Amino acid sequence: MANEVKVIGLVGGIGSGKSTVAAVLAELGALVIDADRLGHEAYAPGTPGFQGVVEAFGSEIVGPEGAIDRGRLGACVFGDPHRLRQLEAIVHPLIHQSLVAQIDAARLTQAVPAVVVEAAILFEAGWAGGMDEVWVVCAPREAVEKRLASQRGLGAEAVAMRRDRQMSDEERRKRAGVVIENEGTEADLRARVEGLWRDRIAGPV
């Protein structure tokens, strides 16, 4: 009898190391679905999402190449909770539809031992209920600031502003089944993820 495909939701704040964890899980054999990428695809030119977003926010958000300019769209919703909810009401159902289709396909083929849904908004969008487990990646504030300063050139104030717009690590810890503490080196993080893979997915060799 084939093993059941486990579906894991992967969450974490900006600069937590979530993408690194996703990359390690992909190397180990998981199918990683990036919800952020699905969000971009949801309003690609020619899709119902494109039409819905343009109707809601105006043709000025469309760039010269005919695609929605993420910077212009972001400017429309930044600091405006009503406009943000309006965008989410259009895009989130489309992302979820794609997630479910890919998860169902993986379960049908059983070509991978696990599907990992990398989604920063997993809890906020109400998708956690469809996961077998939710893993959260947490990192100390100082480590996040240092990482984002070197990788993206963001200062402490910019990092704080982005963190404040997200769910707190404390709240994520309460809701997640597995907490991955990213407090050391990338090698330390990799070792923790490999251990979780053995213990919770692959089983003893």
Residues 204 and 25: their CA atoms lie apart, in Å, by 17
Tokens of 45: 């030119």
Instruction: Tell me the pLDDT tens digit for each residue of 33-70.
Output: 999 999 999 999 999 999 999 999 999 999 999 999 98
Q: What is the model's pLDDT at position 189? A: 95
Q: Whole-angstrom distance between the N-terminal and C-terminal Cα of the chain?
A: 18
pLDDT band at 142 (very low <50, low <70, confident <90, very high): confident
Helix 141-152 / helix 156-164 crossing angle, nearest 10 deg: 110
Q: The pTM is what?
A: 0.87
Within the chain, all domains assigned CATH 3.40.50.300 are found at 1-30+112-205
Instruction: Tell me the pLDDT tens digit for each residue of 153-200.
Output: 666 666 566 666 678 888 999 999 999 999 888 999 999 999 999 999
Under 8 Å between Cβ of 75 and 69: no
Q: What is the CATH number of domain 1-30+112-205?
A: 3.40.50.300
pLDDT band at 95 (very low <50, low <70, confident <90, very high): very high
Tokens of 1: 């009898």
